[in-house]
Amino acid sequence: MSATDDLLQDHIFIRRLQAVIEKCYTLLYENKDVPFGDLVKIVDMIEQFVDQFHHGKEESSYFREAESKDHYSEEIRKFVIEHEFGRRIAKGARIHLEELLRGRDAREPLARYLKTYSVFILDHTSKEDRFFTDIKEKRSLSEKEEKDLKKEFERLKHECVRKSGNLVEVLQQLENAEWAR
Ligand SMILES: [Fe+2]
Ligand SMILES: [Fe+2]
């Protein structure tokens, strides 16, 4: 698999998380309960998989390589700004989750931040899907560049598993939770 395909695959995984997030904020808005443990898992997944792992891969290696090709730098600049926006929403979700865990009534603001994050995921990944597909079609990255990036992604994946455990399993647990079905 090429590095570009790897990032497109991540997007499919991230949109599965989006479906869980959507279910979660809908229930919170309806004043129904989602187990605290699962709320923690959702916010952890946002921070550890989407932000640190996936956006990390894009920012620390892929975008740097693509920046110099086919006038992609302007588009990349916008993606990085969107990542920063996503980070702020994730921070808001974390703050209100902590409040809720401390017994305060933070259900509404948590639902609102999760909804905003869900919209961010759909908007951002669809724009990047078009961008990555363009790179693939134009073969803007050489085979060697794709291979070297993929190697770096593997290293980052090992690092992520060591730090955060198996996040694929965590997403499966969330998808199979009673409330999410
Ligand atoms: Fe991105
Ligand atoms: Fe992405």
Determine the 3-state secondary structure of 131 from DSSP.
helix
Taking the C-alpha atoms of residue 27 and residue 25, their distance in angstroms, rounded to an integer, is 5
pLDDT at 106: 95
| Total domains, the chain | 1
Between the CA of 33 and the centroid of ligand 2 the distance, in Å, is: 31
Between the CA of 60 and the centroid of ligand 2 the distance, in Å, is: 12
Residue 12 has pLDDT above 90, yes or no: yes
**79-120 tens-digit pLDDT:** 999 999 999 999 999 999 999 999 999 999 999 999 999 999
pLDDT at 19: 98
pLDDT at 175: 98
Q: Which ligand is nearest to the CA of 14?
A: 2
Give me the domain span that covers residue 97.
3-180
Counting other chains too, the contacts that 53-60 makes at CB distance below 8 Å and 24 or more residues apart are 53/156, 53/157, 53/160, 53/164, 53/167, 54/7, 54/10, 54/14, 55/83, 55/86, 56/156, 57/6, 57/7, 57/10, 57/152, 57/153, 57/156, 58/7, 58/83, 58/128, 59/83, 60/156
Between the CA of 140 and the centroid of ligand 2 the distance, in Å, is: 17
Taking the alpha carbons at both ends of the chain, their separation in whole angstroms is 32
Q: Which of 43, 122, 48, 50 is nearest to 83 (CA)?
A: 50
Between the CA of 3 and the centroid of ligand 2 the distance, in Å, is: 12
Q: Which ligand is nearest to the CA of 10?
A: 2
pTM assigned to the model:
0.96
CATH number at residue 37: 1.20.120.520
pLDDT at 68: 84
CB-proximal residues (5 Å) to ion ligand 1: 58, 79
Between the CA of 124 and the centroid of ligand 2 the distance, in Å, is: 7
Q: Cα angle at 87 between 165 and 61, to 5 degrees?
A: 70
pLDDT at 136: 94
pLDDT at 147: 97
Contacts of 23 (CB under 8 A, 6+ apart): 179, 180
**142-154 tens-digit pLDDT:** 999 999 999 999 9
**16-70 tens-digit pLDDT:** 999 999 999 999 999 999 999 999 999 999 999 999 999 999 999 999 999 988 6
Residue 71 has pLDDT above 90, yes or no: no
Between the CA of 30 and the centroid of ligand 1 the distance, in Å, is: 31
Between the CA of 53 and the centroid of ligand 2 the distance, in Å, is: 10
